[in-house]
Structure 1
Amino acid sequence: MVQRIKQYASLAERNWQKALDFYGAKTHSHMYLTILMERSALSLSVSSHLHSNM
């Protein structure tokens, strides 16, 4: 289960990085900020889940 979570998180991270590269902070500031917030929320969620299962 933990391995699958890490795989999905890694996939999401790669996709978000591609989106950040496409939606620049200066040209698409709202989308850029939204991506950063969603990415942060997932990171916190995954971290909490992994630490609670230790």
Structure 2
Amino acid sequence: MGLDKAKTVQGQEIMITKKDGKVMVDNATVVATDVKAKNGVIHVIDAVIMPK
């Protein structure tokens, strides 16, 4: 895994980690990756990340 954090559109940093073989974004688990959309690629998580 190459990233350990990323910046949101609002400028907030979110942590990217690996736990028990699963990729986590803050406390959300990535459940689907590389879903192709008309205007980009989607990665699905199992929770809503709210701004702090």
Which TM-score tier does this pair reach, normalised by the shorter chain? under 0.3
Please say which structure displays the higher CA radius of gyration. Answer: 1
Higher relative contact order (CA 8 A, sep 6+): 1
TM-score normalised over the length of structure 2:
0.23
TM-score normalised over the length of structure 1:
0.22
